[in-house]
Structure 1
Amino acid sequence: MNYYEILQIEINASATEIKQAYRRLVKEFHPDSNHKNANHDLIIKLNAAYEVLSDAKNRHIYDQKLNQQFVNAVNYRQNNSENISAYYQQNRQQQKQRDFSQFQWLKEIYLPVNYLISKIILPLEKEIEDLSADVFDDNLMLIFTNYLNNCYQDFNKARNILASQPNPSLYAGIAANLYYGLNHISDGIEELERFTITYDDYYLHTGRELFNLAEEINQEAAQMMERFI
């Protein structure tokens, strides 16, 4: 059986259909689900299939082996890192394009970005604690996924605010930490979203660690900022 057959989907299935099919089958056959048809060996096959088909680049390679139509895709995490790096270099070159005072930057860029980062990170432990009451409860999982959706929205707001003005050279270190912190948050959200689909604690642990790193970086930025106040 190929990976599409294992997930019981058509070969042209969308990413959403792949995710939905995988989550449905994992809930049905997961050894911890208390279902009579729990199947450890099938879970291994489902994980292998999803790991390939949920990643656009790996799916393209796999589809080539099956002689199917070319899928043009770029891995999100690689793309995200490259975009942030490219923007940071571009931003440094454009610093002279606008006369943006140091005080304005702290007020209009640093403070709102710092607020959004804290808004994303601080609720995580409480959200995980609430979800741990019953990971397989759809209502609890919905609450957790809604939190992640809010995180993603706040992440986009913070990223857009940070990109809206040139960074004064005096605050280059603070701006760099904000970029790095947001990068960790983006990766953390992705790992936590994988947990909501796979129920694999590895992704939960990784997502939590990435959020912790983002918090440490944000604290470093705050300490640097205090020197200018």
Structure 2
Amino acid sequence: MANDAPLLCGSLSAMATIDHYQTLGISSRATQQEIKQAYRRLAKEFHPDTCDKGQVENGDRIVALNHAYEVLGDVQQRQQYDRSRDVANYRGIRSAQGTTVKPQSTIETDLEVWLQKIYQPLHQAITNIINPLEAQIDELAADPFDDELMAAFQGYLEECQIALDYAQNLFRSVPNPATVARSARDLYYCLNHLGDGLEQFEWFTLNYSEDYLHTGQEMFRRADQFSGQAHEAIAQLR
């Protein structure tokens, strides 16, 4: 599956209570290309860079879009979802507001597991990417055309890409608890900006244009902001 926006995946039980086709505004008979086009259009519409602050603060639409595309954009996951959706419809379950409510103790347990197994290593991976950047650029600034200094910077970028791949896979590995949906949205933006930043730095290593370097630094700065927002919101839950 194309890696357009992987970030949230759902269990079969979660799939049964969410109409991902409705989330993307498409028919259940849509082709994979139509699914991809619908996702890209809506992701752009609700991205914080293209909509005003009020729209972003009024909901977590982008989180639902990511979840829907993660399921429907993958042929095998879509087939599993369609089967569970057919069973759900047969039983009369038509929305995520079903009749069963999780006990508070179960919700709290889900949150603790997510914080320990997902968020803590994810936050550490993000920190390992962002924190060394300033020192790496300072070292390279001594002579950007020095082969050894550039090789060291490229080694840092390679390590960052490995850490980012790990973070993205970890983030998409389980559905986030509803109580951290807003933080999950900020983490999604953070990971996206880190990916964009790494791409800019890679272009810099190819042509030494400082425009790419400065753009990459700005992408990392914004990623750090989103990570900080997520961390502050999660800290308030503890």
* TM-score normalised by L of structure 2: 0.57
Which residue is equivalent to 2:227? 218
For residues 79-158 of structure 1, what are the structure 2 equivalents within 5 Å? 87-90=66-69, 101-158=110-167
Which residue is equivalent to 2:205? 196
Runs of 4+ in 1 over 6 A off after TM superposition: 91-96
Name the larger-Rg structure: 1
Kindly indicate whether residue 195 of structure 2 is the aligned counterpart of residue 186 of structure 1. yes
Displacement, 1:91? Answer: 6.2
Displacement, 1:227? Answer: 1.1
Which residue is equivalent to 1:171? 180
* Structure 2: runs of 5+ lacking an equivalent: 1-39, 45-61, 73-80, 82-95, 99-105
* TM-score normalised by L of structure 1: 0.59
Corresponding residue pairs, total:
147
Which residue is equivalent to 1:18? none
Aligned partners of 1:127, 1:121: CA distance in 2, in Å? 10
Q: Secondary structure at the match of 2:176?
A: coil
* Structure 1: runs of 5+ lacking an equivalent: 1-77
Aligned partners of 2:69, 2:203: CA distance in 1, in Å? 32
Aligned partners of 2:216, 2:237: CA distance in 1, in Å? 32
Q: Secondary structure at the match of 2:175?
A: coil
**Percent of counterpart pairs with the same letter?**
37
Aligned partners of 1:206, 1:200: CA distance in 2, in Å? 10
Aligned partners of 1:159, 1:210: CA distance in 2, in Å? 17
Which residue is equivalent to 1:64? none
In 2, are the aligned partners of 1:184 and 1:210 still within 8 Å (CA)? yes
Aligned partners of 1:218, 1:202: CA distance in 2, in Å? 24
Displacement, 1:128? Answer: 0.2
In 2, are the aligned partners of 1:116 and 1:158 still within 8 Å (CA)? yes
Aligned partners of 2:126, 2:229: CA distance in 1, in Å? 13
Aligned partners of 1:119, 1:92: CA distance in 2, in Å? 29
In 2, are the aligned partners of 1:177 and 1:220 still within 8 Å (CA)? yes
Compare relative contact order (CA 8 Å, sep 6+) and give the higher one, 1 or 2. Answer: 2
